[in-house]
Structure formats: C-alpha cells, structure tokens
Amino acid sequence: MTTAILERPLTASADTAASGARSLDLQFATAEEMREGLDNAVATLIDTAKDAACGILVTRLRPGHFTVALDNSVPFGETYEAIAA
C-alpha cells in the first residue's frame, strides 16, 4: 500500500507538477513500492524544482516513511538523501 500526502490536497485528476506542490509525504509497505514511489515522487517534483531553481531532498523519517521536497540548500539539478535523526 502506498500513501501520498501533499502540502495541499489535490483532486484525483489533478496533475501534481502543475499544482506547484513543493513536498510529498510518502509511506510504503514494501521495498518494491518504496523504490518505484520515490522515483515517481522525484520525477513529479523535477519541473517544480526547475521553476524554483533548487534541488530535491529525500528524507527518510522512519522505516517506510519518507518526505520528498524541494530544498534551497540542495544545488539546482541535484537530489540529496538524508535520514532524520
């Protein structure tokens, strides 16, 4: 099961990139879901990152729970990973 929670709710037919979402909160039950879900989340935020001229930070909050967000401390065109303490 994959759950995605955005900064602001979107309708099922809305395009996340077009909405200007700056972060995604994701939970995964399996490693396969995690790999695919994180790849899709980063791909979703790439266009918004181009407009914001910043990079993307993927943060592991706890097992199976991640945040993928635009981050001004990450250089434009790059994706960094972090583990929350």
- Residue 38: both structure tokens together: 């994180």
- Tell me the per-residue pLDDT of 17-49, one tens digit each, with 9 for 90 and over: 444 679 999 999 999 999 999 999 999 999 899
Strand extents, DSSP E, 35-78: 55-62, 65-71
Q: Facing residues of 26 across strands? A: 4, 66
What is the value of pTM for the model shown? 0.74
Question: Which pLDDT tens digit goes with each residue over 60-84?
Answer: 999 999 999 999 999 999 999 999 9
Sign of CA dihedral 51, 64, 31, 73: positive
Domain ranges of the chain: 21-83
pLDDT at 21: 77
pLDDT at residue 30 in the model: 94
Rounded distance between C-alpha atoms, residue 48 and residue 76, angstroms: 11
